[in-house]
A and B are shown apart, each in its own frame.
Chain A
Amino acid sequence: MENTLLAIPQGIILGGAYGAIALGLSVIFGVTRVINFAQGSMLMASCFLYYVLYENYGIDPYIGIIAVAPIMFLFGYAVQKFLVKPLIIRERASVIEPTSVMMMTIGFDFALMYLFMMIFGASYRTIKTTASGIVVKTADGMFTTTLSRIIALIAGLVLAFALWFIFNKTELGTKIRAVAQNRTAAGLCGVDVFKSYSIAFGLGVAALAVSGACLLQFLYAQPNMGTMFGVKSFMIVVLGGLGSIPGALIGGVIFGVVETVGAQLITGTAATMLSFVLFIIVLVVKPTGLFGKK
C-alpha cells in the first residue's frame, strides 16, 4: 500500500514531463485548430539538437535552450506559414476534405523522423550531465528520483506559466486569443490572422524544445522516440482539453499517476491498455475533455 502511495509523487513527476510535452500540442490546437501530428518528431528533432550541442561543444541542454528554443520557434513558424497556411486557405475556400492538414502533418512527421534516421542512424544516444546523475531521495530511501526529472516537472510548470502569461497578459497574446475565438472578426479588427497563427505554432514548438532539453537528461535521443510521446500527448491533451494550458498539465499529471499507480496494482502493460480505454471513453463521452474549448 505504501508503495502505491509513493507511486503518486512518481506519477506526478512523470506526468509533469508528459504535460510539458503536451503543452505545445494544446497551444497549437487551441489557436489554429490544427492537430499537429508531427509533435513527436519535432520533440525528437530538438532532442537531437541538444545532443549534438552537448557532444560536440559540451553545452548543457538547459543552456542549450537559449539557442534551440528560438530555432524551433522559427521552425514551427515556418511550418505553419508554408505548409499549414495554404491548406487552411484552401479549406476555407472549397469543399475539400477538412482532413488535409492532419494528413500533411502525418506525412511531415514521417519525413522528419526518417530524415533524422538517415542522418543519425538508429542507435540510442544518451548524455551524462550533472543533473542527470544527481539522485534525489527521501531520508528513509523509500522514494527516489533523479534531479533531471524534477527539473522537468518544474520546467513544465514554468512553461505553462510563461505561455499563460504570454496569452493573457501581453498584447500579442490578446491578438492570438482573439484570432482563436473568431478568426473572421479578429481579422476585421485589423489583426494579422495568419501571423498570429504562425506565432502560436512557433510557441508550441518552442515549448516542445524546452521539454526536449529536460527529456534528454533522463531518457535518450533516437529517431523513433517521438512516436510514443506523440500518441501519449494526444491522449493527455484530449483528457485535459484541447486548447487548455492548465488542462495539458493536469492531463499529463493524471496520465502519469495512472501509469505509475497502475503499474503497482496491475502490470505495466495492463495499465497502458487501461489508459487507452480511458482515452476512448473520454473521447466518446466528453471530447472536449476537462477544461477544453470546442
Chain B
Amino acid sequence: MNKQDEKLPGAAPVVDGKKGFLEGKLFLLIFAVLFATVPLGMSSFTQHILVLVLFYAFCASAWNILCGYIGVLSLGHSALMGIGAYTTTLLLVHFGVSPWIGMFIGAFLTGIVGVLIGFPCFRMSGPYFTLTTIAFAELLRVYLENTKEIFGMSTKGASGITVPYTGDNVAMLSFLGKIPFYYLMLALLVIILLITWGIDRSKLGYYFVAIRSDADAAESLGIKLLKYKLIGMFISAFFIAIAGAFYAQFFRYINPTRIFGLDMSIRIALIAVVGGQGKIFGPTIGAVILIPITELLSLYFGATLPGLHLFIYGVVMVLVVLFMPKGINDYVMRLFSWLEGLLFGRIRKAKETARTNS
C-alpha cells in the first residue's frame, strides 16, 4: 500500500475504488490558508518582508513562463520590469492616470517590446541570447540614467521619480499600510500561478517543454520555435511589467539603476532556478526560502559583514545548480507527498480497522 504513496505529487492512492478528497491537495490548502492569514497581526517590518516574498515569487513566476518552461535564459528581465514601472509612473505623475489602468497599458507595451526583442534574438543559441538580454537591459539603464525627458515627460534621469503619496486611495493604488499591498500581491501571485498551471497542463505547455528538451527535434516535428517563444515572451513580459507597476507603487520611488539593474535580473532568475524552473510552484518556493534568509541576514549582519547576504545568494546558487539542478521544488513536493501518504495512510488504516471490527 505504501508503494503507491511514492507516486508523483498530486496522484492520490486509490484504495477501495475511492479517492480521498483531500489527497494531493492537503498541503496546497494548508499553504493557501497560511498565505491568506500570515500578515495579520505581524509587525510592519515582517509584513514588508512578506510582501517582498510574494513580489519576488510573482516576478520569478513570470520569468519562469519564458525561461523555465521554454528554457531560454534571460538576464534582462529587469528591463521589462522597468518599462512597466516607468510607464505606469509617468502616466500617473504627468497625466494622473490611475496605476490600475497604467499597469495594463504598461503591461501591453512591455509585452510588445518583448516580442520585438524576441524576433531577432530568439534565433540565437543559448549564451548569445543571454548576453543580448543583458546588453539590452544595460542599454536601457544607461539611457534612462542620462535622459531627462521622454516624449516631453520629465524622467529626471538618474535621480529617479518619486511616486506621490496620496495616503489611502484605492483608486490610485496607494495605501497607508502594508496589508492591502500584501493581498494585492497575493491575488496577483494566485493569478500567475493559475496561468502557469494552465500552461503546464495545456498543449501550449507541451510545446514549451518540447522546445526546452530538444529544440531541433521539436522543430522537426513541426513546432514553430519562434512562434511559441514569442508567446512565452509576451506573457512573461506582460506580467513582469505589472510587477514593475507594483514596485513603483509599493516603494514609491523608482530609479534606473535599481529597476533596470543586472542585480535585479539575476535575483529573479536565481529565485526561479533555486526554487525550480519549469514547475508551477518552483519560483514561489524559491522566494519563500531565499527572501527571508537574505533580508534577515542583511538585518543582522549588514553592518558587521557587508555583503554577507549577497555572498550567501551566490553560494546557494552554485550549490543548487550543482546538486539540485531542478531546484528545490521536486524535493519539497516529494516531502509533502510523503507526509500526506503517512497521514492518509494512518487514517485509512484506522478506517479499515474500524470496518473490519464492526
Contacts and interface: CB of A to CB of B under 8 A. Distances in A.
Direct contact of A and B (CB under 8 A): yes
Contacts of B270: 103, 106-107
A112 B307 CA distance: 11
A95 interface: yes
Nearest to B146: A269
A90 B125 CA distance: 19
B159 to A, nearest CB: 15
B139 A115 contact: no
B128 A231 contact: no
Nearest to B318: A107
B143 interface: yes
Contacts of B145: 269
Interface stretch (A60-68, A116-124, A136-144, A257-265): A116-124
Nearest to B273: A103
B330 to A, nearest CB: 13
B142 A269 contact: yes
Interface residues of A, number: 46
Contacts, number: 137
Interface residues of B, number: 49
Contacts of A108: 314, 317-318
Interface in B99-151: 120-121, 124-128, 130-132, 134-136, 138-139, 142-143, 145-146
A152 to B, nearest CB: 24
Nearest to A109: B314
B308 interface: yes
Nearest to B71: A97
Contact of A280 (B71, B135, B313): B135
Interface of A: 35, 83, 86-87, 90, 95-100, 102-104, 106-115, 117-118, 121-122, 223, 227, 231, 234-235, 238, 267, 269-270, 272-273, 276-277, 279-280, 283-284, 287
23 contacts: A97-B71, A97-B212, A99-B71, A104-B317, A106-B75, A106-B266, A107-B315, A107-B320, A108-B318, A110-B311, A110-B313, A114-B313, A223-B307, A227-B262, A231-B134, A238-B131, A267-B146, A269-B142, A276-B138, A276-B139, A280-B135, A283-B135, A287-B124
